Structure 1
């Protein structure tokens, strides 16, 4: 009897549930055997989450959450703590890479219809993870207490002031002061380090458990549980499924190593990524008397910030822009009920869906460029003498209409039977 077998038996005798849980979610979890490149990003999400937690613990050991000392404590980490610069850059780069993998993971879900029955709960939990991640990232962005952190916090928290009757009181309650200050930092630090990571971990566990109850979707959108049984490992298991471990864990390890290589190049050679991952204004201490020339959020918030800016104010209030910004996220959670199509995968869906999906991607990227101020820089070069504000507003509002138009079109397109999908195969068409 080998040492590993003896150790496994020792564990099974004392905690039999652990072995059963591991088998259920690894060796006895049968996944479709036609997964492709798009399915690696879920593993990358877990990898980055682990990186953020581990590096965040070490950063918290040397961080002081006060308005007087926060910026200096970050400089102390960067200059005097041994390997502190590496830990800080791993954390800041990890935040951006987290959103890269999450955006691609969600796009894959929309593209292959992973939000459709019976996976509605899996999708909703995923959207909740996205919301929690955005809250976690925003609070982490404020903590270094650079000048953009201060003004970003002031602008975003002030949005709650648009709520009728209680808005001003709510803003003061969140800040703990009349301006972002030590009270704000203490609250955000506690939430960023303790509350939000716990919520994220809980949601991630629930997301994975819900997924393993109904099974993974695949690029064909065909349910392998309903297909023929009897593969070469287990006659009672789906013929088009393979054990997640070791077959997909080996592939995921390769994907993780490639992802880590790319991340390492960024951390060592371009940690600020030209101001996209870490803005230049955030290397200047917070100053409530010196407003940055362009107040803009970090890149992964820019599409939603653009929606906030582009929706016009009515009756002197920006509440409609705030509602549109939060609605852009909420509408994702409603996707299982918006899309009434019978076919899951983009491979077999009608041409209208594929065109609309391309428009959605272009709209999201376009909104990101507007929110980051890139379009304002390009307009004078492309259209000399043009009014920058007018052209930027026209382009931005077109992108807002295209973004929300995707969901409106999808509901009409599928609800009234305009879609003409291709025949869907009874079994998956590509084998591992």
Structure 2
């Protein structure tokens, strides 16, 4: 989006530099560009994610200096970091909690994008790049979860990598290639460590593309109405939104710090404090909390290949979301039915996470006892199946049909008028 005058070098050095390496111009154009004047705090999570990503990269580089990617020493090296390395007691929780905070922020970022229609034209590429970033985050997080080489690390790696064996014809070969042998062992750990180290830099590169793709059409906004008059509908990103983002980052970092210093292991699993033992299977294998909805979908289908297709399809459907939603109105603020179905969708995602954390045979509620005296009722397996059906129905049925039958509320003519309408009137 254009509208403000570009960078104008003042000093002789700035002019000399601008003619040879216009890096100052790049920084100026990155921060001083027209931004809709009605953005709320849901739009601050992009900046929060940038800060957390840099924190993850910096702490990851330092931790990699002390970590030993060997099955006999990996667990001990993590304990060594926590106990003996200077500030290791802080760096390791910062990295572990940072992963959870990053996924929390990205889920809010994605839900905001769906609610306000930020995937619609002309922002399809922006959305698709974002989904690719999310996929790489999932891969990076999974590999990082394996590195401490605790019980949940080892068995989580075994379960997830075994999913590739469901691929017809080549599944076994692909699985053995991933393992570097015939089971999860030292070659697997080495490969995961190598990929876990390099993937954040790939994510950083995609984030740059994501920001670039954002600058072309400009930000969406809560009304979904495009900027028509830059002077009336927009504000410079700096200083107006850098200050707003800065405040949100400080609040988010306070929550982050509360976990790091007071509850560093609250978001982990206690079984991962037991050294990996291939001869002892944990009673209940669960991934990190941010994978639980997809884990519930995987277990909801009795067939192995079917479960894999359903799980990966739940992410793949996000790539085609811009073309599944047939409504001409971007923001669900003006779509009453879409807003209702979206709120149900959010609850469904939370419910899938709950179901993923429980054993499939556990009961949501009991209805009685059978002849053997065992409790009977509605299991988490059936809850996951019902919620998975709604997840897919939301994207494949509800959004395409709603766009054709729903009557939206009147939208404001411009961003300026929506701001003036919501402003408090003087007495």
TM-score with structure 2 setting the length: 0.91
Q: Is the 8 A contact 1:369 1:375 kept in 2?
A: no
Deviation by residue 1:151-170 (Cα, 9 ceiling, x = unmatched): 00000000000001111111
| 1:404 counterpart (372, 392, 397) | 392
State how far apart, in whole Å, the 2-side matches of 1:170 and 1:388 are.
Answer: 41
* Aligned with residue 29 of structure 2, among 24, 28, 33: 24
Distance 2:12 2:302 in 1: 65
Shift of 1:414: 3.9
In the aligned structure 2, how far is the partner of 1:402 from the partner of 1:336? Answer: 19
- In structure 2, what is the equivalent of residue 425 of structure 1? 412
- The alpha-carbon distance between structure 1 residues 426 and 170, as it changes in their structure 2 partners (threshold 3 A), is same
Residues 391/374 of structure 1: CA separation in 2 closer, same or farther (3 Å cut): closer
Tell whether 2:334 aligns with 1:348: yes
Separation in structure 2 between the aligned mates of residue 33 and residue 171 of structure 1, nearest angstrom:
51
Match of 2:241 in 1: 248
Following superposition, the deviation at residue 330 of structure 1 comes to: 0.6
Distance 1:366 1:75, change over 3 A: same
Change (3 A) 1:148 1:249: same
Map residues 71-86 of structure 1 onto 2, 5 A cutoff: 71-86=75-90
Deviation of 1:220 (Å) = 0.4
> CA offset at residue 23 of structure 1?
2.2
1:326 and 2:312 are equivalent in the alignment: yes
Q: CA deviation at 1:178?
A: 1.5
- Give the structure 1 partner of residue 3 of structure 2: none
Distance 1:202 1:150 in 2: 30
Change (3 A) 1:420 1:297: same
Give the C-alpha shift of residue 177 in structure 1: 1.7
After TM superposition, the structure 1 stretch with the greater mean CA deviation from structure 2, 105-114 or 174-183, is: 174-183
**Contact residue 140 and residue 188 of structure 1 kept, 8 A:** yes
Match of 2:206 in 1: 203
Contact 1:43 1:252 in 2 (8 A): yes
State the match for 1:361 in structure 2.
346
> 1:150 offset after TM fit, Å?
0.1
CA distance 1:369–1:248, change in 2 (3 Å): same
Residue correspondences, number: 407
Q: How many Å apart are 1:391 and its aligned residue?
A: 2.0
The match for 1:170 among 171, 174, 184 is: 174
Q: Which residue is equivalent to 1:228?
A: 229
Give the 3-state SS of the residue equivalent to 2:364 in structure 1.
Answer: helix
Report the Cα offset of residue 20 of structure 1: 2.0
Over 3 Å counting, the alpha-carbon distance change for 1:88 and 1:321 in structure 2 is: same
| Contact kept? 1:338, 1:410, Cα under 8 Å | no
- SS of the aligned residue for 2:254 comes to helix
* Secondary structure of the structure 1 residue equivalent to 2:22: helix
In the alignment, which residue of structure 2 is the partner of 1:293? Answer: 283
Distance verdict in 2 for CA 1:80–1:341, change over 3 Å: same
Which of 191, 214, 217 is the aligned partner of 1:214?
Answer: 217
Aligned residue for 1:62, secondary structure, equals coil
- Relative to 1, partners in 2 of residues 1:311 and 1:338: Cα closer, same or farther, differing over 3 Å? same
The 3-state SS of whatever aligns with 1:31 is strand
**Residues of 1 paired with 2:12 and 2:349: CA distance?**
51
- Give 1:389 shift: 8.3
Deviation (angstroms), 1:390: 5.6
CA gap of 1:378–1:85, structure 2 versus 1, over 3 A, is: farther
| CA drift at 1:420 | 0.5
Aligned counterparts of 1:56 and 1:390: Cα–Cα separation in 2 = 43
In the TM superposition, what whole-angstrom CA distance separates every residue of 1:224-268 from its partner, at most 9, and x where no partner exists? 1xx135x2xxxxxxx210010111111111111111111111111
**Does residue 128 of structure 1 match 2:132?**
yes
CA distance 1:8–1:123, shift in 2 (3 Å): farther
Structure 2: unaligned runs, 5 residues or longer = 1-8
Deviation at 1:362, TM superposition (A): 1.3
**Residues 387 and 337 (structure 1 numbering): CA distance in 2 closer, same or farther, change over 3 Å?**
farther
User: Is 2:295 aligned against 1:305?
Assistant: yes
- Let me know the Cα RMSD of the aligned residues: 2.0
Say which of 184, 189, 192 aligns to 2:196: 192
Once residues 376 and 98 of structure 2 are traced to their aligned partners in structure 1, the CA distance between those partners, rounded to angstroms, is: 34
Change (3 A) 1:19 1:147: same
SS in 2 for 1:379: strand
